[in-house]
A and B are shown apart, each in its own frame.
Chain A
Amino acid sequence: MDIFLQQLLNALSLGGTYALLALGLAVVFSIIGLINFAHGELMTVTGYAVCFALIWGLPFPLAVIAGLAVAMTAAFLMERVAFRPVRGASGTTLLLTSFAVSAILRVLFQNLISARPIPVAIPASLSGVVTIGPLHLGMIQLISIIVTLAMLLGLNLFLHRTMAGRAMRAAAEDFAVLRLMGLRANSVVATAFAISGLLAGVAGVLWVAQRGSVDPLMGALPVLKAFIAAIIGGLGSLSGAVAGGFLLGFIEVILQAYLPESLLPYRDAFAILLVITVLLFRPQGLLARKTLVKL
């Protein structure tokens, strides 16, 4: 029983990270129909920012803030430079543009910074462990659960209580009508990217804290997981992305824990199989949006 509870806690921690990432993808997709595969590179940018801030002698909390600011700026710039010129183009064009942005950034990181991972001095206090009865929880895992919940709550408040948030929700419903109401499309899209950058930044800090280094290619896998999570949840649905993230984390941890040893190498295949099963019954994802109108 203790072991099961411990695995549940592990699932919550992993699912939380996936949820943060999927949410970052969904925020942008719900508004301009772009699946931003360069989202992972926003995490990498955050990692480098934190790393260099620490090297320049900033204390860790300030370095994290600097990292988040850089992530938001990078997301904002990405939109301005790469995605605004192709806004409204077909989904394929948008997708390919995001792949291009991702590939260009990776090569730049490899050749301008370093192809080899750079160590990040994570404070020793983050390596600690919290013991609750029979359960152990790493400090970083605990922080990721708390931060994920805080981010979800904050985003929810933002979307429902502020003008910019309402505009984003309206844009997700029907962009054309939003513009007819006299709201500036560019500022709504820019806000969406900034939020997506913040989510990528938070996920990036948690990711780097776990691995202790920044690597030019480190964004590839998380963005893939986020994509799967967003698909299970229903592309474009924010609550769906969160649900998808937690479900994917849960599936992965439970399979790892309870598959017999001989089948363990096929864990990812089983996980994807379960995802496909979900999609067979809910082709639009768990919490599909009813309207799929795009500009």
Chain B
Amino acid sequence: MTDTESLAAAPLGLRPADEVMQLERLGSLHATRLSFVRSLVRQMARQRWQISRERFDLDANGNGTAIYRLQTPHGRYHGVMFAQPLDDARRSDRVIAEAWDVTFGMVEGDVDDSLLAQMAANVPLQEAGRQHPRVLVLSRANKSLRNFAHFVEALSRGEQPDPAWLTRVGYLYRTTAVYGNGKFGIADFARLLDNPDFRGPFSAQMAGVYLLRHFSIEQVEHLAACRSPSTACPLATELRRYLGIGNSTGLGMAPFLINHPQLIAQWIAQRETALTLALRQVPEEADRVRLIALTRRALTHFEETVTEDAEQSERNAATVAALPDVLTWLSSVPLEPDLWHQLVEWSARALPLEAQELINTLLIELYPDQVDALEDRMEVEENLDLEPDMPLIRLRQLIETHYGWALAHDYASREGSYWFWYRSAEKEEPRLGVRHEEPGAEKEMPLAIGPRVARTHQQVCAFLEAHPRATVVDFLLEHPRHKRSRATHPDAGQGALWRYPRQPLAS
């Protein structure tokens, strides 16, 4: 049994869930080498995936159709892009938008004329279209107009764009939704479970976005060439590598986090397992040198990072301020077998949260041989089935052990139940409303776990008074409303431990 397998089988030494699942700490996690994009890119490189241009019918304004073939050792896919003119007044990143600069789909298999015609008629409509069941990913994106203009202008003159533009906005396109798993008629995720290319969570979506990134580069180069055929040049490799894809609202994340507790727990558990594996390694001088180099690189990255969010800017500044101390510490402390433990303990005492988690991320980065296998453990068979024969007293204990935060909250006060999520009739966009002020609270989406757990607990206690030997199913037959309350599922203690702010958020 390898280290990874033994740790996964008996994950002793992981940080406690109460610490890791605090929202503030979760919000401080950085992307690691186990993040989905990193895993996908490693897979693409390892298996030498090939992307080739099958069609590129764009006019001088960059509008038209492009098709890219993605060939893997196991299958063939096509990214089909539809770029179209978009009036500035209609360019919105909201779900409620109805037109975009580019819409696209990634298809399993080949794209013949009939499928292309079907996609041309439906993909640009996005949610309003009926999509083909061989489409794995459906998405759309809007341009960063400033970057587009600057890139085209520079390339058409035969010059490279100023990299500083990319540190401010790191993309040419930002997606405003990336749909998978059966949305609007596209393929169900279940179709991919036996597909070695895309059976991991979100890997098909990431591949679709990668194709969009590729298209964005070829589109600006095309525009530059159209503007000035004699002087235009391609984008430099370094800038191509620096270029990303933006993402817009991320609104779907709120319901997703609540509705997939086992999946989220699995992802976090793999990251924590990776950290534990890294901490178990006895560092050599070369590892210390590498960690110093990675810390310097991270410092540069954070110094260059620009964000409009004031609070995140403050946190980034705090990280930048802290990293020189980390470099000093790493350079001055003797190389002892438990150096990494010493580092983590010191950082917990001395550093802001985001810097602590950055160090954890960099430690994981040091040990690809130990941690990369964990990327194959990101899937989980989601199952919130009841355990009907569980003694009700056991359920009560689970709630009291793991949901103390939910039981201690005051839900009766205005501040204690301030927000509610609902779906708007406008394209079913999830929105936040203020209870007691805005209409729709009676149609609240069932995302607030705390009050439901508290209500369930109250009724469980009352039921146990009269039926001390009752089972969960005995209780539910009398109180079926609690059936899907997170607390009535046996994984109550594992999957859903994060805490929810129930008070007004700071503006």
Q: Are A and B co-members of a single complex? A: no
